[in-house]
Amino acid sequence: MSTEEPSPEELLKKIQVDDVLLQTVVTLVNLAGRRLTVQEEKDPAQAKKAIDAVRALLPLCPQEEVGPIKDALSQLQMVYVKETDERAKARSKIWTPPGSS
């Protein structure tokens, strides 16, 4: 009894576009989350790019999977806004003397 691995061509015959779309969206959601929350990986610009990509791919995803993706996307967007708002506030805390504005 031999158990040979399928060839790349055989694998491609079995792969569905919906599966690739879902895997891509999940990867982007996870990557955005890391770029927003893991201190040594923080990169809001990369997170925004991933969030925008998920938003663009969402209409192409299977309808039965859209609900959980939308939930994750909403959470990411809230974290992104909070993160970028905090950074903007930190940059704007420059003291100016009274009467100089």
For 40-74, write each residue's pLDDT tens digit.
999 999 999 999 999 999 999 999 999 999 999 99
Domain chopping of the chain, boundaries: 15-80
How far is 61 from 15, CA to CA, in rounded Å? 15
Task: Identify the residue whose tokens are 């939308």.
Answer: 70
Mean of the pLDDT values across residues 74-92? 84
How far is 95 from 41, CA to CA, in rounded Å? 30
pLDDT (tens digit per residue) in 22-49: 999 999 999 999 999 999 999 999 999 9
Question: pLDDT at position 36, please?
Answer: 96
